[in-house]
Amino acid sequence: MKSFNHIYIIFAVTIFTGCDDYLEVTPKGEIIPQTLEDYVLMLNSNAMTNLSDPFYEYFSDDIYMDLGSDEKTPQANAYFWRVDLDENPDDDPSIWLSTYQSQYYANAIISNVMESAAGSQSEKRSVLGEAMTIRAMNYLNLLTVFSNAYDPDVNPEDLGIPIVTSINVTESIPPRATLNECFSLIIEDLKQAIEWLPATQQNRWRVTKYTAAAVLARTYLYIHDYQNANTYARIALQSPQENKLLNYNAIEEFPILEQNSEKLWIDKTTLAADGDGKYYSADLLALFEEDDLRLSIFTQYDDDGNTYRAIHKANAGIGYPEMYLIQAEYLARQGEVDPAMDLINHIRVNRFPEDSKAVTLQATTSEMALELVLEERRRELCFSGIRWQDLKRLDQEGRMPTIHRRINNNLESAVIATLEPSSANYTFEIPLKVRLINPDIELNH
């Protein structure tokens, strides 16, 4: 019988199992969680606080990487949208392994925390809600890589990913669930988490009910349910944290993550791509106005004049600006042009010098408003790890042009790779190592 570790869904089966006989011996160097505090410590582990991945940036059109089209590393395969990220069967599966490792921790908490020693029922439910939020985020991330974009009215039966909720290593591998089944679990987890989570936590690393609402808003946006995305973005914005938007005019030094009042939930992932930072693609740079403070604050230049964003100014996690932008997109799609513009201008007034002529954007039609919102979304959320989600959902709506990789980082240089609209390469293949060990797993290509 196959077990979870055989498809690299988990990496440390010696930490937890659902088998009673395992508990007879504690492996040397390992700790079996017993108290509520043990499970809280798990939430603070790297596996539970690094939920994004640099690969999400490698896929996107926001980034430039100095790679030759003949390179075959996983990073190059991601950058050039080759369906197989990993070509060496001895390599750990990119994205898949680390995300399912995190899922194992989340499932261990979900399965056991309510039976842990010490702590009240409400405290245990709070930790349970955090684990459910993390599990939902992980599944959303996996689906954007290894499954087609999802519209419930178009392709509910398309293949999703294996849904693993057990930590019992004797169970057989579940088959790939449908997209409908996967997103139903994500939404169910998040709605339940909202009920159990507290309104505040001791820091922004921990999950609140407003964090779970923000993840749910992001999820609904991805699956084209813009009304529900707006509903949960509004809930997320009701968080009691004050001073939600930073005025970049008043910043002498950009705050560290823990002190960034724009963040609902902090993710430690640096999303680094090129050593010290991430290089802006030429077309992303072209979207910024000259006096946009987001350039002067976040960017640095290498010896050749290329613009990059330093890794210590990472943008992973979920913040209030994303929620405003989700609301603005919903309003634009509904024909509420002026309210949509008001929301993005609420962001922009904090991103430009007070005397800038570029601060205020105006639209006269719903389509124009939507285009402006999507452009502002790209500027504000670049290098946050979610541009790939936007590319997939917008391509499914027929809104994505051909994306180019160029030999140099300028719009006039030779094209060495393209991602065409509706391309099958928007979906990556199940990792090589996974399918070699599990030849019955259904594939994408």
Which residues touch 77 (CB under 8 Å, ≥6 apart)? 84, 85, 86, 87
Q: Is the pLDDT of residue 4 over 50?
A: no
The bridge status of strand 263-266 relative to strand 317-319 is: antiparallel
Q: How far apart are CA 275 and CA 202, in angstroms?
A: 33
**Residue with the two structure tokens 């999303």:** 271
- The residue-averaged pLDDT of 227-244 equals 92
Q: Is the pLDDT of residue 63 over 70?
A: yes
Q: Are 58 and 65 in contact (CB under 8 A)?
A: yes
Closest CA to 392 of 83, 187, 145: 145
Q: Exposed (0-12), middle (13-18) or buried (19+): which is 430, by Cβ within 10 Å? A: buried
Whether residue 443 is contained in a domain is answered as no
Q: How far apart are CA 267 and CA 214, in angstroms?
A: 14
69-113 pLDDT tens trace: 999 999 999 999 999 999 998 889 999 999 999 999 999 999 999
Residue 443: its pLDDT value, please?
A: 97
Report CA dihedral (318, 186, 231, 237) to the nearest 10 degrees.
Answer: -30
95, 170, 368 from 167: Cα distances, Å: 20, 9, 49
Handedness of CA 194, 16, 175, 419 (dihedral sign): positive
Residue 255: its pLDDT value, please?
A: 84
Whether residue 224 is contained in a domain is answered as yes
Q: Is the pLDDT of residue 178 over 50?
A: yes
307-359 pLDDT tens trace: 887 655 667 789 999 999 999 999 999 999 999 999 999 999 999 999 999 99
Residue 13: its pLDDT value, please?
A: 37
242-300 pLDDT tens trace: 668 999 999 888 888 788 899 999 887 766 544 456 889 999 999 999 999 998 888 88
First to last CA, the chain: 27
Whether residue 160 is contained in a domain is answered as yes
Q: How confident is the model at residue 1 (pLDDT cuts 50, 70, 90)?
A: very low
Whether residue 20 is contained in a domain is answered as yes
Phi, psi of 139 (to 5 degrees): -65, -40
Residue 6: its pLDDT value, please?
A: 36
Tokens of 418: 């393209």
> CATH no. for residue 58?
1.25.40.390
Whether residue 299 is contained in a domain is answered as no
Mean of the per-residue pLDDT values for the chain? Answer: 88
Of the two residues 155 and 243, the one the predictor is more confident about is 155
* Overall number of domains in the chain: 1
Residue 14: its pLDDT value, please?
A: 35
Whether residue 286 is contained in a domain is answered as no
Q: How far apart are CA 320 and CA 196, in angstroms?
A: 22
Residue 308: its pLDDT value, please?
A: 81
Closest CA to 131 of 221, 63, 33, 197: 197
Q: Is the pLDDT of residue 224 over 80?
A: yes
Residue 10: its pLDDT value, please?
A: 35
Whether residue 276 is contained in a domain is answered as no
Q: How far apart are CA 258 and CA 241, in angstroms?
A: 13
Domain that holds residue 231: 4-268+313-437
Closest CA to 101 of 134, 77, 147, 127: 134
Whether residue 112 is contained in a domain is answered as yes
Chain-centroid distance of CA 403 in Å reads 21
Residue 296: its pLDDT value, please?
A: 86
Closest CA to 218 of 311, 125, 320, 127: 320
